Structure 1
Amino acid sequence: MKNPMWRNARLCSPVLVLAGGAAFAQTEAPRLEPVVVTATRSAVPLREVIADVTVIDRSVIERHQGGAVADLLRRVPGVQMARSGGPAGATSVYIRGGDTRFTAVLIDGVRVDTQTTGGVNWEAIPLSQIERIEVLRGPASAVYGSDAIGGVIQIFTRRGEPGTQFDVGLGGGDYGTVKSDASVSGKYGRVDFALSGLSEQSTGFSTRTTGNPDRDGYRSNGGSGRLGVDVTDGQRLEVSALRSHVDGQYDPAPVTAADDHALHDLESVSALWAAQWLPEWRSTLSFGQAKDHYATRPNVYTTDTRVRTSTWQNDVRLGKHTVNATLERREDHLVNTDVANAVNTRTQDAVALGWGWRQDGLAFQVNGRHDRNDAFGSANTGSIGAGVDVAEGWRVQSTLSNGFRAPTVYQQFSAEFGNSGLKAERSRSNLELALHHRAGAFESSATVYRNRITDLIVFGEPGPCSSEFGCYSNAGDATLKGVTLTSAYTADGLRIAGSIDFLSAKSMNEGVERRLARRAPRFASFNIDKDLGDTTVGAQWQVSDKRYDNVANTTVLGGYSIVNLDLQHKLSSDWRLLARVDNFFDKKYQLANTYVTSPMTVFVGVRWSPKI
Structure 2
Amino acid sequence: LRGSQSTLYGSDAIGGVIHITTKKGSPVTEVAVSAQGGSFETFVEQVEVRTGAQGGEVSLGFSREDSGSFSAADKRVGNSEEDRYERTSFSFQGGIHPFNELDLNVVFRHNDSEADIDNFGGTGGDDPNRVFDNRETFFRTEGVVRLFDGALKQIYGVALTNHNFQDDNDPDIAHPLDIQRSEYSGKLIKWDLQNIYTHSPATRFIFGLETEQETASSNFFSDGAFGPYSSNFGPADARTNGYYADLFLEASPWLASSFGVRLDDHSRTGNEVTFRIAPVVTIAESGTRFLGAVSTGYKSPSLFQLYSSYGNPLLEAEESTSWEVGVEQDLFDEVLTIGGTYFRNDIDRLVTFNSGTFVFENINKANIEGFEFFARANVVQGLDLSVDFTLLDTEDESTKESLLRRAKSQLSSSLHYTFFDQRASLQARVRYVGERDDQNYNVFPAQRVTLSGYTLLDLLATYHVTEAISLFARVENLFDKDYQEVFGYGTAGVAGYGGVKVKI
TM-score in terms of structure 2 length: 0.89
**Match for 1:214 among 81, 92, 95?**
81
- Per the alignment, residue 186 of structure 1 pairs with 51
More helix by share: 1
Q: Per the alignment, in what secondary structure is the counterpart of residue 519 of structure 1?
A: coil
Alignment of 1:593-608 (within 5 A): 593-608=487-502
Shift of 1:405: 0.7
Structure 1 residue runs of 4 or more that deviate by more than 4 Å after TM superposition: none
Structure 1 unaligned segments of length 5 or more: list them: 1-135, 463-468
Shift of 1:257: 4.1
The answer to whether structure 1 residue 230 and structure 2 residue 97 are counterparts is: yes
The answer to whether structure 1 residue 336 and structure 2 residue 221 are counterparts is: no
Q: Give 1:291's aligned amino acid.
A: N
Shift of 1:553: 7.2
Alignment of 1:189-268 (within 5 A): 189-209=54-74, 210=77, 212-253=79-120, 255-268=125-138
- Per the alignment, residue 371 of structure 1 pairs with 264
- Per the alignment, residue 494 of structure 1 pairs with 383
Q: Per the alignment, in what secondary structure is the counterpart of residue 550 of structure 1?
A: strand
The answer to whether structure 1 residue 285 and structure 2 residue 161 are counterparts is: no
The answer to whether structure 1 residue 357 and structure 2 residue 249 are counterparts is: yes
Alignment of 1:36-47 (within 5 A): none
Alignment of 1:22-421 (within 5 A): 136-209=1-74, 210=77, 212-253=79-120, 255-279=125-149, 280-298=151-169, 299-319=180-200, 320-337=202-219, 338-341=231-234, 344-358=236-250, 359-390=252-283, 391-414=285-308, 416-421=309-314
For 2:84 and 2:273, the matched residues in 1 are separated by 45
Alignment of 1:444-523 (within 5 A): 444-460=338-354, 469=357, 471-490=359-378, 492-509=381-398, 512-523=399-410
Kindly tell me: are residues 397 and 227 of structure 1, through their superposed partners in 2, closer, same or farther at Cα, counting changes over 3 Å? Answer: same
Q: Per the alignment, in what secondary structure is the counterpart of residue 304 of structure 2?
A: helix
For 2:159 and 2:276, the matched residues in 1 are separated by 26
For 1:224 and 1:268, the matched residues in 2 are separated by 9
Q: Deviations over 1:62-94 (max 9, x none)?
A: xxxxxxxxxxxxxxxxxxxxxxxxxxxxxxxxx
Shift of 1:470: 5.2
- Per the alignment, residue 41 of structure 1 pairs with none
Q: Give 2:213's aligned amino acid.
A: E
The answer to whether structure 1 residue 582 and structure 2 residue 452 are counterparts is: no
Q: Deviations over 1:119-148 (max 9, x none)?
A: xxxxxxxxxxxxxxxxx1111011111011
Q: Per the alignment, in what secondary structure is the counterpart of residue 84 of structure 2?
A: strand
Alignment of 1:554-573 (within 5 A): 554-573=448-467
Q: Give 1:574's aligned amino acid.
A: A
Q: Give 1:438's aligned amino acid.
A: D
Shift of 1:310: 1.2
Shift of 1:421: 3.0
Shift of 1:435: 0.3
Highest CA radius of gyration, 1 or 2?
2
Q: Give 1:529's aligned amino acid.
A: H
For 1:157 and 1:578, the matched residues in 2 are separated by 23
Shift of 1:340: 3.7
CA contact (8 A) 2:81 2:128 kept: no
Kindly tell me: are residues 167 and 549 of structure 1, through their superposed partners in 2, closer, same or farther at Cα, counting changes over 3 Å? Answer: same
Q: Per the alignment, in what secondary structure is the counterpart of residue 593 of structure 1?
A: coil
Shift of 1:223: 0.8
For 1:420 and 1:157, the matched residues in 2 are separated by 37
Q: Deviations over 1:200-234 (max 9, x none)?
A: 10111123233542101111112101110111112
For 1:460 and 1:600, the matched residues in 2 are separated by 35
Identity of matched residues, %: 22
Q: Which moved more, 1:281-290 or 1:257-266?
A: 257-266
Q: Give 1:394's aligned amino acid.
A: T
CA contact (8 A) 1:570 1:576 kept: yes
Kindly tell me: are residues 605 and 165 of structure 1, through their superposed partners in 2, closer, same or farther at Cα, counting changes over 3 Å? Answer: same
Shift of 1:308: 1.6
- Per the alignment, residue 222 of structure 2 pairs with none
Q: Give 1:602's aligned amino acid.
A: G
Q: Per the alignment, in what secondary structure is the counterpart of residue 334 of structure 1?
A: strand
Q: Give 2:62's aligned amino acid.
A: G
Kindly tell me: are residues 596 and 471 of structure 1, through their superposed partners in 2, closer, same or farther at Cα, counting changes over 3 Å? Answer: closer
Q: Give 1:222's aligned amino acid.
A: S
Q: Give 2:311's aligned amino acid.
A: G
- Per the alignment, residue 438 of structure 1 pairs with 330
Q: Deviations over 1:378-424 (max 9, x none)?
A: 1110011111113521010111111011011122233x443333210
For 1:223 and 1:474, the matched residues in 2 are separated by 38
For 1:146 and 1:339, the matched residues in 2 are separated by 26
Relative contact order (C-alpha < 8 Å, sep 6+): which is higher?
1
For 2:293 and 2:425, the matched residues in 1 are separated by 38
- Per the alignment, residue 546 of structure 1 pairs with 435
Superposition RMSD on alpha carbons, in Å?
1.7
Q: Per the alignment, in what secondary structure is the counterpart of residue 410 of structure 1?
A: helix
CA contact (8 A) 1:339 1:410 kept: no
Shift of 1:256: 4.9
Structure 2 unaligned segments of length 5 or more: list them: 170-179, 220-230, 441-445
Q: Give 2:369's aligned amino acid.
A: K
Q: Deviations over 1:36-62 (max 9, x none)?
A: xxxxxxxxxxxxxxxxxxxxxxxxxxx
Shift of 1:487: 0.6
Q: Per the alignment, in what secondary structure is the counterpart of residue 60 of structure 2?
A: strand
TM-score in terms of structure 1 length: 0.73
Shift of 1:556: 1.3
Kindly tell me: are residues 477 and 584 of structure 1, through their superposed partners in 2, closer, same or farther at Cα, counting changes over 3 Å? Answer: same
Shift of 1:563: 0.1
